[in-house]
A and B are shown apart, each in its own frame.
Chain A
Amino acid sequence: MAVSNDKMPPSQDDEYVLTGPRCKRRRTSDSECFSWEILPVLSEEECQGVELLPAYAAPILCKKETSRLVKEVSAIYPLPGLQHLKRVRACKEEPRQHDVEILICLASPLQKEESALSLRELLPTVKAECSSLGEPFVVQVPARPPLTRPQFRESSAHWPTSFHENKLVTKALDGQLFSWEEKNRMQKYMDQAIQAAKCGAAIGMEAVGAVVVNSSTGAVIAVGHDCRQGCNPLLHASIVGIDLVSHAQGGGVYNYDIYPDCKFFLSPNNNECAEIDAVDSPAGTHPTAVGLPYICTGFDLYVTREPCTMCAMALLHSRIQRVFYGTPSPDGALGSKYRIHSRRDLNHHFDVFRGILEDQCQELGNECHQVS
């Protein structure tokens, strides 16, 4: 179902889609699952495996001495940059000879179990160590604080760490971030992108479609498809989407007269602003001064396949809020080859999710290859 009625403001149209006559049937199938799963595309740091460092630990033989030992050992061997590591851990392994173990210090990376240093060598100044501490041994400890629950689980298997959980990330990883209604709406937007992709493919373009949505109102701002086989080889679907948004805001570069399936919608609100903008302000006036968002601020992009590096960076420059893509692509820059959306050294970050209607999106690619 395409939200493409020009006469009706897109926001109303969208509401119609959500609460219209089809609603009843939908309600009865509330528990019905979607054929797809939405997954967050996390940052490099959040995805990587747990890196381990060798360290010395020793059993605490006399449990009462624990707090004194922690104080003394921490004073001798502070662990700068490793604040996530707990100093002591409870011993659960059976048979249990002692209750707790203490982390003493990092070992050299090449330290082998056989050549481990003795207690006297490690802690020559700690008093009564012989009675309260057992012989040190080498353990592997996590080098970085865990960022996600899977990382926390893996880290904890080696040595206990603190974990400041980002509840949203955990929910997203469990597939619990979005409600049924939200997913239903996402599916409609992605379906619109798929339809656009098919229209593009019908005129010889690569089968990729994109839909830009105002995330706060749900209004569709732009629908476009890949145009790279036309006069400009760089007109990928995301670039087209961005330019259509510019058109909706009174700017824009390319003419889409020959591509009737690439279109933008002016919401009543936007329209007003565009007029004020055109009357009052010469080029270069602050767009937000007249209530217009800065380019794609607050907008979501639904695109059938993962954007390439050029498109991903174009979306970053445009300050996109979220990107949802159907299927990954080989040199993709939002998860496959790079994770441009989550690089700390870039000045804007956005959330990326993949998987909406993945099978249908992937099929588009296959059909396209059959044609070419």
Chain B
Amino acid sequence: MQRSYPEQELHICVAMHFLSNNNFCHSPILALELKWLSCVLLDQAKEAMEQGEVPVGCLMVYREQIVGQGRNEVNETKNATRHAEMVAIDQVLDWCQRHSEKTTDVFEHTTLYVTVEPCIMCAAALRLLKIPLVIYGCRNDRFGGCGSVLNIATDYLPNTGTPFECIGGYRAEEAVEMLKTFYKQENPNAPKSKARKKD
């Protein structure tokens, strides 16, 4: 499940995925659309960075439209669970309410685009909502839930929604670059290390 693709190959791969899943109502996403999506996606991550949040951005796409987008809001809300994915999920729930759509139907046909591999918590949330496909940028070696630390995406968890497919490596360099820039300027909201607490 953990694969890395050069960009050209990824476009084909995503298109194949849509074609092979007849239950999807999308037409295959074209390279052009993917490019547009990724611009919006990276803008989300940049906005997070500008707000002093870990630069991660995500989009949720249902029937060729963006029904949710999010970036990290951990510091703003003083709630460590406000990762980009969780924020976007709330937006999709709002969207469903506004459009009188059944949330289960929407999530089961929604693709998540995210700049960094979802963490263990988010991966479990995506499973619970039965989101079928996740396309992400770079790996998340610290918390990754799609193979880097645990594989929540495919592990046997009969009481936790359904497994989902992951495609990694999409515009990974840009996502990594942003994370590097962010961590260079030390997160001012991270808890102080125990060693420093003493003085």
Question: Which residues of A are interface residues toward B (Cβ below 8 A)?
Answer: 231-234, 239, 242-243, 246, 249-253, 283-288, 294-297, 308-310, 313-314, 316-319, 329-331, 333, 337-338, 340, 343, 345-347
B128 at the interface (CB under 8 A from A): yes
B contact residues around A249 at 8 Å (CB): 78
| Neighbour of B80 across the interface among A231, A252, A308, A319, CB < 8 A | A319
Binds A, one of B22-30, B31-39, B116-124, B173-181: B116-124
- Cα distance A116–B158 when bound, in Å? 47
7 of the cross-chain contacts (CB-CB < 8 Å) are A234-B89, A234-B128, A234-B129, A252-B79, A287-B78, A329-B159, A333-B124
Q: Report the minimum CB–CB distance from A214 to chain B (whole Å).
A: 16
Contact A233 B103, beta carbon cutoff 8 Å: yes
Contact A233 B77, beta carbon cutoff 8 Å: no
| Neighbour of B158 across the interface among A234, A251, A297, A330, CB < 8 A | A330
B contact residues around A330 at 8 Å (CB): 158-159
Contact A346 B149, beta carbon cutoff 8 Å: yes
Asked if A234 meets B86 with Cβ closer than 8 Å, knowing A309-B121, A313-B124, the reply is yes
- Contact residues, B89-131 vs A (CB, 8 A): 89-90, 93, 97, 103, 119-125, 128-129
| Neighbour of B189 across the interface among A232, A286, A313, A347, CB < 8 A | A286
| Neighbour of B77 across the interface among A252, A286, A317, A329, CB < 8 A | A252
Asked if A347 meets B192 with Cβ closer than 8 Å, knowing A243-B79, A295-B79, A317-B81, the reply is no
- Cα distance A330–B82 when bound, in Å? 26
Contact B128 A233, beta carbon cutoff 8 Å: yes
A contact residues around B77 at 8 Å (CB): 246, 251-253
Seed contacts A252-B78, A284-B189, A294-B189; 13 additional CB < 8 Å A-B pairs: A242-B79, A283-B52, A283-B76, A284-B51, A286-B189, A309-B123, A309-B152, A310-B121, A318-B81, A329-B159, A330-B159, A331-B157, A331-B158
Chain A residue nearest to B188 (CB atoms) is A286
Chain A residue nearest to B126 (CB atoms) is A310
- 10 A-B pairs with the lowest CB-CB distances in the bound complex, closest first: A251-B78, A313-B121, A310-B124, A309-B124, A284-B52, A246-B79, A317-B80, A294-B191, A313-B120, A331-B159
Chain B residue nearest to A244 (CB atoms) is B79
B contact residues around A340 at 8 Å (CB): 120
B3 at the interface (CB under 8 A from A): no
| Neighbour of B149 across the interface among A310, A337, A345, CB < 8 A | A345
